[in-house]
Amino acid sequence: MTLLKAPAPIPSRGFCCFGVIMSIGVVQEQTITFESGIRLESGRILAPITLVYELYGTLNADRSNLIMVEHAWTGDAHLAGKRSENDTKSGWWDAIVGPGKLLDTDRYCVLCSNVIGSCYGSTGPASINPKTGKRYNLTFPVITVRDMVRAQELLLDHLGVKRLLCVIGGSMGGMQALEWATQYPERVASVIALATTPRPSPQAISLNAVARWAIYNDPTWKKGEYKHNPKDGLALARGIGHITFLSDESMWQKFDRRFSARDGLFDFFGQFEVERYLNYNGHNFVSRFDANSFLYLAKALDLYDVAWGYESMADAFSRVRAPIQFFAFSSDWLYPPYQTEEMVRCLQELGKTVEYHLIPSAYGHDAFLLEHEAFTPIVRSLLERVSR
């Protein structure tokens, strides 16, 4: 086990070279539809399938420099750069993608695809069912993380890429990375999984269950047949989920027990700052995410098991060919380090090439998005080795 001390935060919105901040610039979202679709783990056929994706950098002549970045639960394909010149917000992992950054677009071509089941353009419950001309809603089939990756394989074939240089992801993205390693071992040269799990714990499942109840009990949800997002239920569900992304230490640091300066201390509806934050975060989420997609992706998380369809985790990991780097974060209580360590021990016993790095962090589960400085040199070293 390697224990890494996270450095103090530094500005991360670009790469500084001789005083010039390098940026990926404006990126263009791309869309592809596969009429044949895929057979899901449930046995149902989902067709056609539309995938939204973004590409950064250029594929080399033999198409061997592609890095796939997998997004987490409510993420999207907008990994880096901006959508327009007037866009004020960069992609969700902009800090590590671009010229001279960890995923150096002068050397690598970087791909991020929105998963099926989402509401950011890829086929999901908010999409129109071509057979009925109406939204799928709850007629959309239950999907798994493995189904998400199966759809992405279609995209790789479309791009003419036989083998990924690397697949990297955190949380649900890490689950997808593990699926690439076990289901398509011949198609990946390296794998990096951050803040993830071989299977969510009963505690994680129970928290998702409570989030589901929040949506189900919103009278405007109407069993998925709503015309307008059930904002109260979805905001509450997001609030529950967001608590799991944080940590006790980070919440003390960010909010302490401060009472909102806007409210009177003995006002019955007065709020602590942490309450106000969760309220803001939850209702802001409603404007950008679909309730049914939230439910379907939560179900996919709960169902995830790297050993699904195998006799054991060892049986599943026996298929792995690529070196795997695992990163866990000390304050992550959603997918705590012991869950990563279980996978590491299993791979070591199988004689597979595996690294484990435990990073001390106060940021909880979200640390993989916020403390990239801690893992950048280690990931860069792996990319250098596999590139050679």
Q: What is the pLDDT of residues 305-356, one digit of tens each?
A: 999 999 999 999 999 999 999 999 999 999 999 999 999 999 999 999 999 9
Instruction: Kindly name the residue from 71, 78, 357, 365 that is annotated as catalytic.
Output: 365
Predicted TM-score (pTM) of the model is 0.93
Q: How far is CA 348 from the centre of its chain?
A: 26
Strands 15-17 and 20-22: antiparallel
Mean pLDDT score, 206-226: 98
Per annotation, catalytic residue among 332, 361, 366, 372 = 332
Question: Which residue's structure tokens are 């995209």?
Answer: 155
| Helices 172-183 and 291-303, packing angle to 10 deg | 50
Q: In the chain, how many H helices and how many E strands? A: 11, 17
Q: pLDDT at residue 10 above 60?
A: no
Radius of gyration of the chain from its Cα atoms, rounded to whole angstroms: 21
Query: Is residue 283 flagged as an active site residue?
Result: no
Q: Element (H or E) spanning 353, and its range? A: none
Annotated catalytic residue 228: no
Q: What percent of the chain has a predicted confidence (pLDDT) above 70?
A: 94
The mean pLDDT of 124-152, rounded to a whole number, is 98
Helix ranges (H only) for 37-187 are 145-159, 172-183
In the annotation, is 87 catalytic? no
Q: What is the pLDDT of residues 144-169, one digit of tens each?
A: 999 999 999 999 999 999 999 999 99
| Active-site residue, selected from the candidate residues 127, 171, 190, 293 | 171
* Contact predicate 290/119, CB 8 Å: yes
Tell me which residue of 285, 186, 199 sits closest to 235, measured CA to CA: 285
